[in-house]
Amino acid sequence: MPKIFSSTKRAYLAGFLDGDGSIYVRLKQNSGYRYGFQVAPYVVFFQSQKERRRFKKICFLLGMGYLRERNDGILEYVINRKEEIRNFLGQVKSHLILKRKQAELMLEILAKKEKIKTKADFNQLARLVDKFRELNYSKKRKRYKLTL
C-alpha cells in the first residue's frame, strides 16, 4: 500500500528535494533488456554523514528506498522503484519549485515506459530521458538513439 504523507510533510519533503535532492533517469546499456538498455529512474536525497542520525529520521519518515554511504562523506537516500517514485513525486510535485519540471518529466517517462511496444516507442522514451540533460546540471550525460 502506498505511503500517504500529510500536507505539511509533503511540503517539507519537497523543500528538501529542491535543496538537497536530485531527480534523474539513466539509460544503462544492458544486453539483457529488449532494446539493449535498462531505464533506471532515481530520486535521491543527499546529506553529510555528520548528520547521519537526523537524516535517518527523514529516511524513516519516507518509508521507501534505501540509504547508501559514499566514500566522500556523503549519505544518499535513494528511491529507485518506479511505483515508489510515482507515489512520492505525485504527492510532492505541487510543492516543488526548483525541480517541478524534473518531477513532471519523470512521471511522463514512467508512464511512457509502460507503453513501449516498438523500437520507435523506445527511441521516443530515450529522447525524453535526454531532456534531463537540459534540466539537470550534468554535462556528462550521453544521448541515446537506437538505429531503426
Q: Which residues are tagged catalytic? A: 19-20
Cell, residue 80: 529507485
Spatial CA neighbour of 83 closest among 45, 110, 57: 110
Spatial CA neighbour of 86 closest among 114, 61, 59, 58: 114
Distance of CA 102 to the CA centre of its chain: 9
Helix (H, G, I), strand (E, B) or coil at 31: coil
